[in-house]
Structure 1
Amino acid sequence: MARIVRFHRHGGPEVLHIETVDVAPPGRGEVQIRVKALGLNRAEALLRRGTYIETATFPSGLGLEASGIVEAVGEDVAGFVPGDAVTIVPPLSMVRWPAYAELATFPAELVVKNPPELGFETAAAVWMQYLTAYGALIDIAGLGRGDVVIITAASSSVGLAAIQIANRIGAIPIALTRNSAKRRALLDAGAAHVVVSDEEDILARLEEIAGPNGVHVVFDAVGGPAFEPLTASMSPGGILIEYGGLSPEPTPFPLLSVLTKSLILRGYLVHEITRDSERLARAKAFILDGLADGALQPIIARTFRFEDIVEAHRFLESSEQFGKIVVTI
C-alpha cells in the first residue's frame, strides 16, 4: 500500500486527493522508486483542468518528475539495484506513469542515477526544465557563442534553465518578463538584459539591445500579441521556437516579418528529445556536465510537503514563483 495523488474529475487544485492504494510490483523493463521529492510543472495543472495534450482516465494520477530511492527492479533491468538514488526523465505519459506517489514505477530507460552533488529536492528539479531548454536552444536552434536569444516567461523554471544554458555556451540571453518585480532577480540569475513587457516598448528595447544584427533565436512560452514585436526584432533566417501558449489573447501570424526575413516559426515539445534515444543521450551528457561544472544550478522557488499538494498547485498557478516548485515526501 502507498499514498498517491489522484483526481476523479477535472477542475481546480481542490480536485486533487491523496488516496491509499495497492501498488503493483515493477514489470519487465521497469524500475520502482520510493519517491523523496517531486518537481511540479504547469503540464500537471493542465491535465488536472482537462486542457493538456494528454487525456486523463479517471481516477487519474499525474506528475512528470520525481527523485528517490530504487525500491525494486523488474525483469531485464540492468544498472540499477535497490537503494540507488535516482531521478526521472519525464515520461511520454503521466497518466501511464504518474509521479505523484510514495511508490512510483517508470521505464528503466527514463531512470538516471542522481549526480552526487545533488540532494533529492534539487534532483527533482532537473530534467524537465533543462531538457526542454536544451532541446529548443541547442538541439533544434543550434544556438552558439555570441548569438542573441530572447527568453519569454523567463522567471519560470524552463526560462531560468534557458538563461543558464545560454550563458554556458556564450550566447546572450535577454529575459522577457511582464513587470519589473522580477528584474533584479533575473539579472542575478544570469540574464544579460531584462525587458519588461507591460512597462516598455518591446521592439524598441530589443532593437536597442540587439543592434543591427537582431535576435537570432526566440524561445517563447507565451504567444499572444507579443509575437509581432518579437519577430520584428529578429535577424534574417532567425528561428522562433514556441513551446507553450500562456497568453489568453489570440496570437497573430507576423506575415510581413516572416516573409521579409525568411524566419522559421517552429512548435516544440520536450517529447521530441525524450523519445529519441540518441538525442536524449546527448542532452543528458550536456546537462550532467553542466551540473558537475556548476554552470547549471536548479533554482527552487518554494518547497511544499506532500500533504499540501493542493496548496502547491495553487502556488503553481499563481505565476508568483521564481524557479521550480518542489514537493517532498
Structure 2
Amino acid sequence: MACKTEKELMSLVKEAKKVTQYGEVASYIPALGKASVNDLSVAIFKLDQTCLSAGNVEKKFTLQSISKVLALALVLMDHGPEVVFEKVGMEPTGDPYNSIIKLETHKPSKPLNPMINAGALAVTDMIKGRTHKERWNRLLAFVRKLADNEEISYCQSIAESEFETAWLNRSMCYYMKQYHVIENDIEELMELYTKQCSIEMHSLDLAKIGAVFAADGLSPMTQDVLIPREIARICKTFMVTCGMYNASGEFAIKIGIPAKSGVSGGIMGVVPNQFGIGIFGPSLDEKGNSIGGIKLLELLAEKYHFSIF
C-alpha cells in the first residue's frame, strides 16, 4: 500500500520538510557542501511500473554509500557468497560508518560488514576485471541496467573531491592490505571507489533500482533477472541490519523496510513485492542520514503500514 495520488505524497513531503532546518549538508566533502538544505524529493516506483513523485525529482545527486549495495550485488554475482564473506563479515556495528577501530580489535581482522566504509572498500576491490577501466565499466553498466537508464554516469568533480580528501579510507585500505583483505593497488582502488560513490542519478532512477530489489532481482521495466533471488535477499538483509549506519536498529523499529542511505542525502527504500523508493534530501542528521528523508519514511510507514515486521 502506498500513496494513491501525488497530491497526497506532496503533502507528506511538505510535512517532512519542516525538519530539514535541523540538519546539515555533508560539508566535509567540499563538493557536497554546496547542496541546499531545503531540498527534499521522493519517487515511488511500483512493480506494475506506475510511479508517484513529489518535489524536484529530476535533480541529480551522487549515490555515495547507496552504491555499496549495488557493488555488493555485483561482487556476490562475480564470486559467490562464500568467497566474499571470507573477506567481509555479516555483523552490524554500533560504530560510525568510517570507524577504523574494529579492524584492529576484531579477530579475524576483516571488516564487520559490507555497508561500513572498510567493508565497502574490500567489496569494491573484488569487482572482476583485468584493468581498472574494465572494472569501472562493468560496475557502471550494471547500475545502468538496474535503473534501466543508459545515460547514468558519475560526477567527476565530486569523485575528485573525495579522492583528494579520502585519507581515512586510504588508511583502512593499507591496514587491510596487511591481512590480504585488499589485494589490488590502493590508489587504483581509491579511484574506483570514489567514482563508484559519485555515480549520479535522480530520485526516479533510484526508485527503479529499489523496485528491482523489491521484485527479488527481476527488473519490472524489462522483465530480465538482473540479480539472482538469493543475492537480492542477502543485499536486502544487509540493508535492514546495517543500511542506515549506526541508526539501523532504530530505523528498523520505526520504519521497518530494507533501506540504504548516503551522505549526499539519498535514501533507497525497498518494500518487498510492492515498490522501490528513491529519496533525495541533503540535510543530514548526526548519524549521516537524510533528516527529511527519514521523517518522510516515518510518515509513509505510519500511514500505510508497510513495515516488513
| Interval of TM-score (by shorter of Structure 1 and Structure 2) | 0.3 to 0.5
Taking structure 2 as the reference length, the TM-score comes to 0.35
Larger relative contact order (C-alpha < 8 A, sep ≥ 6)? 2
Taking structure 1 as the reference length, the TM-score comes to 0.34
**Which structure carries more helix by proportion?**
2
